Structure 1
């Protein structure tokens, strides 16, 4: 994978009003040249804003994360683990267009699609009224048949977020659902780190919003509705019959799914974007996609290796700084059953 290209434009008026800390961040930004690796380069880039507020993703007070009418919330059955961070996911589809379903994998995204993922922690997960700390917002923007990436770090006053291209660590304190105080060095990935996961068949691509991962019931306006049906009603996706789409199990739902189903779904979302025949780790032999028959995954011959790599944070090797205890427990139970 060659040097990644990235382009940004900083207005004089923006710099004039910046704090010293923001100027230091801006001085650290890198503009790299681009080979044909799927990331939009200088010569054909979308203008990427330096401030998140310029996209008008949110209305009112930005930290309320209340999306404007153009951006719609979506949820996943099984999510990527990111150091216990909470996430809000939004999608914007250009007017007059929709997602086009092809199978139960990723749909076809029209030009101008924007995917938004915001990471935050509740100060006390037992009591959401005590507020939250928003850490970062990541964008995937499709233009010229390619996906461009942009990462924004929220300031201390929580009234805006600013573009960064170099990764950095940020100390986060919170109280978990058990009442235990937690401190981590949360990792905000660089562009190279982002693209190492969002990279397949020589192009950048989204990971989470496969149709099988969207095919779940959600609560909207006080009514439980299938999310694919809801997204159709919102004009986001073409009409699709949910019963014709498979379902990626929710890995936490022990009442509805077996250990095997939950573990395979967990490994799919955490690892399969790299561990598949076209992924960055294709040379490792593992194929962890949910739809792959167990006999063709190479999981049975790598039971100990998978557990060891999860215990040492070598898998997933980006996006986590602490072991996912619940996920590791599930994977261990599955491996012991094989």
Structure 2
């Protein structure tokens, strides 16, 4: 049953929007996991096939009770989740997904879902550039576990971000959850939230988490002046998930939900990223981490495109990866070092210096981190240390 979330927001439920009606899917990727109902037999759905022109994806339909232009004022207005919403039990028509290599967000957990318009599908490609119809919605929820030693102890939802497709472009919007954990309200100006939790060592801690304002969304999602998706690419979704206790390929599972137009190619022949902290070779894990955390800016057309650094997983030119590369700009961001990456010498590399800082003028990634990803720093440190040493000053 497809097409009930945008066109009949109060009627259905699934994978981010509706009745729990399928197998739970899980992906082991540190704290960044997706768990949702919507396994085999749960179709992706939602929306109207008519391209909206009034700011209302429900325009032109008779089955959508939520009136008014998008974005709607409250998350519950979309009817994405079974009540209580905080459990993120999706209604029929919203499909959960996860990524192989997650973006570090100060150790926040994440739950992701895709909603498609009724009768519409994703145009699959073997790399980036999946094509989504108008009316499609990408849902991303952010939370913190109360006790990082025991996820069963519950969590605090912080924000839910939506990217919805309208008139051929992606629009971004953020919803901030209330203290009662019953509702999330449209929030455009950003927020600083103190989050209390028990850490891995059993110590009570409080950290400040930054909810970005809408203008800051472009720092990651904007490329050549257009908003782009980051996680929904073949490399990120060509990974294994658990459905009803069985390990399956996520792309094949999504295809079984009738999400793609055409026939899916052999997934074993398709490119993939890996869990940066899994058991794959060091180079593969490090390149996956850099792609997930850095390539949205460090690529042609990205915010740091002029730096000359390219951290796409498929980049093959060592100089573009920073090896013996002189930085495009000097200043405090170099830490007194001369090259972005000095093979075999991570402590002499600008990349490590910047990853290991929280100074707004130095740190990488720039937004919105307030906590250093120690495992990520160690991973890239090990990767650089494992490179055959070169004397960068002797290179032409």
Using the alignment, how far apart are the partners of 2:285 and 2:76 within structure 1?
38
Shift of 1:284: 0.9
Aligned: 1:172 with 2:195: yes
The Cα offsets for residues 222-276 of structure 1, whole Å up to 9 and x where unpaired, read as 22211001101112223312123111121011x2x12111111101110101001
Deviations 1:277-303 (A, max 9, x none): 211111111001000004252421212
Alignment equivalent of 1:229, drawn from 211, 236, 252 = 252
Q: Which sits farther off after the overlay, 94-103 or 183-192?
A: 94-103
Residue 178 of structure 1 and its aligned partner are, at CA, apart by 3.6
User: How many correspondences in the alignment?
Assistant: 294
Equivalent-residue separation in structure 2 for 1:298 and 1:219 (angstroms): 34
Give 1:260's aligned residue. 283
Aligned residue among 246, 256, 267 for 1:242? 267
Is residue 2:350 matched to residue 1:305? Answer: yes
Deviations 1:161-185 (A, max 9, x none): 0011111110001123343333211
Q: Which runs of 4+ in 1 moved over 3 A?
A: 43-46
Q: Which runs of 5+ in 2 are unaligned?
A: 1-52, 57-69, 325-339, 342-348, 388-396
Root-mean-square deviation (CA, aligned residues, Å) is 1.4
Contact 2:239 2:274 in 1 (8 A): no
Label 1:244 to 1:111 Cα distance change in 2 as closer, same or farther (>3 A): farther
TM-score, normalised via structure 1 length: 0.84
Mapped partners of 2:80, 2:115: distance in 1 = 9
Distance 1:169 1:225, change over 3 A: same
Q: 2 CA distance for matches of 1:189 and 1:285?
A: 26
State the match for 1:315 in structure 2: 364
Normalising by structure 2, we get a TM-score of 0.72
What secondary structure sits across from 2:290 in the alignment? helix
Task: Check conservation: 2:139, 2:160, Cα contact below 8 A.
Answer: yes
Instruction: Please say if residues 125 and 234 of structure 2, whose CA atoms lie closer than 8 Å, have aligned partners that are also in contact.
Output: no
Distance 1:101 1:182 in 2: 43
Q: Distance in 2 between matches of 1:91 and 1:208?
A: 11
> Which residues of structure 1 form unaligned runs of 5+?
1-42
In 1, Cα distance between equivalents of 2:233 and 2:203: 34
Is the contact made by 1:88 and 1:118 (CA closer than 8 Å) also made in structure 2? yes
